[in-house]
Structure 1
Amino acid sequence: MDLHGKAAVVTGGASGIGQALAYALAADGVRVVVGDLDEAGAHATATSIRESGGQAMALRADAADTEDIEGLLTLAASEFDPVDIYVANAGVMGAPSLGGEADWDFVLNVNLRAHIRAARLLIPHWQSTGSGYFVSVASAAGLLTTLGAAGYSVSKHAAVGFAEWLAITYGDDGIGVSCVCPLGVETQMMQTIRETDDPDARLGASSIEQSAGVISAADVAAATIEAVRSGTFMVMPHPELLEMYRHKGADYDRWIDGMRRYQRTLRQR
């Protein structure tokens, strides 16, 4: 895909990976609508893009709310053009351990249903034009797992599965999909789980940080932009992840035994 002149929506764009993706898209000539519940942060991202010579607008939006998604798409169409690229980036860690019913509804809404609701709105138009690109920011947790937080791990597995389904179902209609699966990334979410008093949440942070190096959000954005340009589905900003994923698939029982040992080691520290 030639990115220059395209219109994009980035959810969760006030900070972290979303902000880095908004900056990277704008640097390639994409006109960006930044959505986030943090209204001031979303506008700060858009202002920074404009001050750097790019084109950007911002809107307070809940990425999991259909009306708010419609608002983002409407703003893009009125200020720029109908959306060519949708970056479903907004995500939450959710509750540690098993959580309760409300915890599961919350994490599944943001990490999975937000993607489904956006796709429902976008796909018909993209099919009619024969083009469009959906970027699902998932996690290595969707390919492996995350110690300590069932909701996060399961919702990211589901996000990867949904992205796969989109790519298979609509690829022949000219619609591209990339699924972004980083390990540790230096973001506010990472800092929050590092500092929490909950032992299960801290276990998750430790497992992420020790599995591979913690990289910057800009590193994730650069790998993602390259994938969109080339039409690559799976984006693994950490090169170590591919070998981990192959190891899991080669012998599932051995991998689960290894994860149990790893968990015991972390808990003993």
Structure 2
Amino acid sequence: MIDYAGKVALVTGAGSGIGRALAEALAWRGAKVVCADIDEAAAKATASGIGHSAMAIACDLADHDAAGALIAEAADWQGRLDLVCSNAGIGFGKRLIKQQQDAAAERLMEVNLFANLRIAQAYARLMQSTGASGRLMITGSENSLSRPDAVQGSGQGLYAVTKHGVLIMTEWMRDEFRSGNVPVELHILMPGAVYTGLIAPLIPDPAKAPAGLNLIMPERCAEIALRGMDLGLFYIPTHAHIAEDMKPRTQGVADALEALGLR
């Protein structure tokens, strides 16, 4: 188990859902936590609930300059930054064939994909300049790897594009960090259905969620995430069905190789 006593963690999207649960779980383990969120009141509420070992920062990660400023401010607070949980994200539900390249779509890309890249770049620069080692966990989704049965037909295509992009970006980044001697260990969290503000309007009572959704609470997601980091895992899934959901893709490729006479 990683000892977070005396260490500093930054959690984006900490005002609610998975982010809040991660912030609280890290604080319980002894970390000092920087709670960042676009909703200043929500970030302050999370920090206040944790106590004197937390601070709140309001930021909009769609702003190109926000990631660098956030990393710098978080590091300045205690003179170190041992862990970054790049968790902020927004939902989106519109069928691809009807989707326009409008401001909402561009914001989705900025927050869910490019903000993670900018945070990783800023954090890598910080660790290289200080000579310290760090840890970065980026929140993707089970949609990074599959199209779960429970959400098919819900218009999650463009959202899934951002999350698949986060996955492949983090895989490439891991290789670049290793070859470039960047002292940051990477993880990608791939949650399935978690009861957050994205789901609550559709399912007011989590106890009445369809069984096929396999809905879990944010606290359980945070528990799995921290356990995954304890184990040094790169991929951190939260639901067992992700392996089954991936089979149509892998089998389809295998069938194509067979048909093409390439195996």
TM-score (norm 2): 0.83
**Alignment RMSD, CA only?**
2.2
Cα offset, 1:253, TM superposition: 8.9
Q: Comparing both structures, which one devotes a greater share of its residues to helix?
A: 1
Structure 1, gaps ≥5 residues long? 196-207, 255-269
Instruction: Decide whether the 8 Å contact of 1:136 with 1:179 is kept in 2.
Output: yes
SS at match of 2:14: coil
Structure 2, gaps ≥5 residues long? 256-263
Distance 1:234 1:44 in 2: 30
- Alignment match, 2:163: 156
Cα offset, 1:212, TM superposition: 4.1
Query: Deviation digits for residues 122-141 of structure 1, max 9, x if unmatched?
Result: 11222342511111111101
SS at match of 2:67: helix
- Alignment match, 2:119: 118
Equivalent of residue 144 in structure 2, options 139, 142, 159: 142
- Alignment match, 1:70: 68
Residue pairs, 1:23-38, within 5 angstroms = 23-38=24-39
Query: Deviation digits for residues 131-154 of structure 1, max 9, x if unmatched?
Result: 111111111011113531221010
Equivalent of residue 56 in structure 1, options 51, 54, 57: 54
Query: Deviation digits for residues 13-64 of structure 1, max 9, x if unmatched?
Result: 00000000000111111111111111111000000001xxx61000111123
- Alignment match, 1:265: none
Assess, with a 3 A threshold, how the Cα gap between structure 1 residues 237 and 100 changes in structure 2: closer, same or farther: same
Instruction: Decide whether the 8 Å contact of 1:66 with 1:118 is kept in 2.
Output: no
SS at match of 1:189: coil
- Alignment match, 2:40: 39
Assess, with a 3 A threshold, how the Cα gap between structure 1 residues 31 and 16 changes in structure 2: closer, same or farther: same
The residue type paired with residue 60 of structure 1 is A
- Alignment match, 1:7: 8
Equivalent of residue 178 in structure 1, options 181, 184, 187: 187
Matched residues, percent identical? 30
Query: Deviation digits for residues 85-135 of structure 1, max 9, x if unmatched?
Result: 111111111241122112321111110001011112111222342511111
SS at match of 1:82: coil
Distance 2:145 2:79 in 1: 35
TM-score (norm 1): 0.81
Q: Which runs of 4+ in 1 moved over 6 A?
A: none
Structure 2 residue 170 is matched with structure 1 residue 166? no
